Amino acid sequence: MLTVTLYIGFAAVIAAMAMNLYRLLAGPTAEDRVLALDTLYINAIALILLVSIQFADRIYFEAALLIAMMGFVGTIALAKYLGRGALMD
């Protein structure tokens, strides 16, 4: 049962990432692209969690934790750059 639901989960997350990729490439505004990147890293965390369950290996979970912390910093930096035209005031 878990195998089938894992495959459904993989399919859903990969489809979601494809949608984010379309928004990342199509824009139309720079904010849309940053938001798409933000969603893309959150979906990458979801994918890594599913992989962690699939392979029964906790190392993958550590990678998800790292992405969660680094992705936020990247989004904030980009949003601040867009809003002010400079990283630091």
Identity of the amino acid at 64: A
Residue 48 and residue 65: Cα distance in Å, rounded? 10
> Half-sphere exposure (CA, 13 Å, Cβ side) for 77?
7
Site map 2..31 versus other proteins, x via CB under 8 A: x--xx-xx-xxx-xxx-xx-xx-----x-x
User: Taking CA 69 as the corner, what is the angle to CA 88 and CA 56, rounded to the nearest 5 degrees?
Assistant: 165
Rule CB under 8 A: which residues touch other proteins? 1-2, 5-6, 8-9, 11-13, 15-17, 19-20, 22-23, 29, 31-32, 34-36, 38-39, 42-43, 45-46, 49-50, 52-53, 56, 58, 61, 64-65, 68-69, 72, 75-76, 79-80, 82-83
